[in-house]
Copies of this chain bind each other. A is one copy, B any other.
Amino acid sequence: MKLASLKEGRDGSLVVVSRDLRRVCSAEGVAPTLQAALDNWDDCERALQALYQQLNRGDHNDTFAFDPHSCAAPLPRAYQWADGSAYVSHIELVRKARGAEMPPSFWTDPLMYQGMSDGFLGPCDDIELADEAWGIDFEGEVAVITSDVPMGTAERQALSHVRLLMLVNDVSLRNLIPGELAKGFGFFQSKPATACSPVAVTPDELGRHWQNGRVHHRLRVRLNDKLFGEPHAGTDMTFGFDRLIAHASLSRRLGAGTIIGSGTVSNRDETTGCCCIAERRTREVIDTGSASTPFMQFGDRVHMEMLDEQGLSIFGTIEQQLVPYKGPGA
Structural contact, B114 and A188, CB atoms closer than 8 A: yes
| Docked CA distance A163–B187 (Å) | 26
Structural contact, A129 and B251, CB atoms closer than 8 A: yes
A291 within 8 A of B: no
Closest to A35 in B: B10
Ordered by A's residue number, 24 sampled pairs between the chains whose C-beta atoms are within 8 Å are A10-B39, A80-B116, A80-B118, A82-B188, A85-B185, A113-B186, A114-B114, A114-B186, A114-B187, A116-B252, A118-B254, A119-B255, A129-B251, A130-B151, A152-B328, A157-B328, A173-B251, A176-B251, A184-B186, A189-B247, A190-B251, A192-B252, A193-B252, A193-B253
Nearest-CB distance from A74 to chain B (Å)? 15
Structural contact, A112 and B188, CB atoms closer than 8 A: yes
Interface size on A, residues (CB 8 A): 58
Taking A10-B39, A118-B254, A255-B119 as contacts, is the C-beta distance between A79 and B82 under 8 angstroms? Answer: no
| Docked CA distance A117–B81 (Å) | 10
A85: chain B residues within 8 A (beta carbon): 185
Nearest-CB distance from A10 to chain B (Å)? 6
A128 within 8 A of B: yes
